[in-house]
Amino acid sequence: MTTGTVQGLEGVVVAESTKSLVNGIEGKLIYGGYRIEDLAENALFEEVAFLLWNDRLPNKSELEGLRQTIAAEASVPDAVIEMLKVLPKETNSMAAVRTAVSMLSPYDPDAENLTDKDVAQRKAVRLTGQITTICAAWARIREGKEPVAPRHDLTLAQNFIYMLTDEEPDQTSSDAVNVYLVLLAEHGMNASTFTSRVVTATGSDMHSAVVAAIGALKGPAHGGANKEAMKTFLEIGDPARVDEWFQTEVKQKKRRIMGIGHRVYKALDPRAAILKRHAKALAQSTGNTKWFEIANRLEETARADEYFIERNLYPNVDYYSAIVLYTLDLDVDMFTPLFVMARVAGWTAHIIEQMGGRLIRPKAQYVGETDLAWVPLEAR
């Protein structure tokens, strides 16, 4: 580490925010004053989005109004769907979603309005609906199926299941997606949210900030960890192989277990605890318990190991969400786009909070040479 620098900006406070409190020591998470456990148990994703955008819970008619508006605004321009259809089928799903979201901006009448916070909130509502449609459309297009248009009578979680399957959404799947979306909607100054605020602080537009955030979320150290965690469980393949895999891959080859560890949480991520319960219930209700058993056994093995104990390494939100999403029959490459569907609520809330704020421009500690003599090209 270089003197005067904070590697990875750990612990540096870069903004005041009313959106969420992440207490990494006690393993607590609060959105706008409300405990994540209460929100996961009781709230619709739309209710949480309203809370993040307005700093208060909606009443009944406000909630129904927001649900209807998101559903009504969820249609995406035909050109965006056509663009998704011409992408190579093996395109990384996050690259497809990132490209589609970028392409929404020329069709958004308010795209270049950079100052009005009411307009920004309308854009946030629109983007939240449209991103769900894009994710479901891409999931079908990459399998050679026609996309399904959103319905106006459904919640966002139901609409996603409907657009994904072209069937009436069932309660268990919609509830599981809703809980997932609530838990992933917001999380303080994480890497993608910070990215969105940096872009916004230059005076740039909401679509640019969300596209940049999607790019940050794609990385395996951040949102990309959910699909990497599932790939690990698939690689292990059998609960009986967990111990051997841990000894060989983690202890000998020093591989990281994806979905474990967190910059802020030095206790169990409260979202992981909730998702673990849902993953277990879903596994039992479908009769497919293998993946949950592998994940659970790997967690127990890691948590009994001195290395993981000393470094306070616990499962994070991506660990058991991988099991939930896999049990819902979602392709592994679609896991991180689902994270986008949820986190767009938090990103846009932070973008609106950041609008009009000061340019974010830290410094680098220059550690290179300063007095080199110029060498002409022919002499190098």
Q: To the nearest whole angstrom, how small is the minimum distance from the Cβ of residue 17 to ligand ACO?
A: 17
Which residues within the stretch 188-207 sit at the binding site for ligand ACO (CB under 6 A)? 190
Please select the residue that binds ligand ACO; options are 263, 266, 290, 303, rule is CB under 6 A.
Answer: 263
Using left for φ > 0, alpha for ψ between -120 and 50, and beta otherwise, residue 28 falls in beta
Interface mask (CB under 6 A) for ligand ACO, residues 141-180, using x and -? ----------------------------------------
DSSP 8-state class, residue 305:
S
The tokens for 126 are: 């629109």
Please select the residue that binds ligand ACO; options are 174, 316, 336, 348, rule is CB under 6 A.
Answer: 316
Helix (H) or strand (E) holding 34: strand 34-35
262 is an interface residue for ligand ACO by CB under 6 A: yes
Look up tokens 């020591």; give the residue.
25
- Catalytic residue positions, numbered: 262, 318
Q: To the nearest whole angstrom, how small is the minimum distance from the Cβ of residue 233 to ligand ACO?
A: 13
Q: To the nearest whole angstrom, how small is the minimum distance from the Cβ of residue 129 to ligand ACO?
A: 23
Look up tokens 């909130």; give the residue.
121
Which residues within the stretch 6-65 sit at the binding site for ligand ACO (CB under 6 A)? 8
Q: To the nearest whole angstrom, how small is the minimum distance from the Cβ of residue 264 to ligand ACO?
A: 8
Choose one: 134-142, 236-244, 290-298, 316-324; the region binding ligand ACO (CB under 6 A): 316-324
313 is an interface residue for ligand ACO by CB under 6 A: yes
321 is an interface residue for ligand ACO by CB under 6 A: no
344 is an interface residue for ligand ACO by CB under 6 A: no
317 is an interface residue for ligand ACO by CB under 6 A: yes
Look up tokens 């035909």; give the residue.
78
Q: In whole angstroms, give the CA distance from residue 58 to residue 35.
A: 16
What is residue 96's three-state secondary structure?
A: helix
Q: In whole angstroms, give the CA distance from residue 228 to residue 246.
A: 16
Q: To the nearest whole angstrom, how small is the minimum distance from the Cβ of residue 292 to ligand ACO?
A: 18
Give the pairing type, strands 28-31 and 34-35: antiparallel
Give me the DSSP letters along 88-147: -TTS-HHHHHHHHHHHHGGG-TTTT--S-HHHHHHHHHHHHHHHHHHHHHHHHHTTTPPP
Choose one: 26-34, 103-111, 137-145, 261-269; the region binding ligand ACO (CB under 6 A): 261-269
Closer to ligand ACO by Cβ: residue 133 or 321: 321
Look up tokens 């190991």; give the residue.
305
CB 186 within 8 A of CB 31: yes
CB 239 within 8 A of CB 151: no
258 is an interface residue for ligand ACO by CB under 6 A: yes
The tokens for 16 are: 């005041």
Q: In whole angstroms, give the CA distance from residue 48 to residue 20.
A: 11
Catalog residues that contact ligand ACO under the rule CB under 6 A.
8, 190, 221-223, 225, 256-263, 311, 313, 316-318
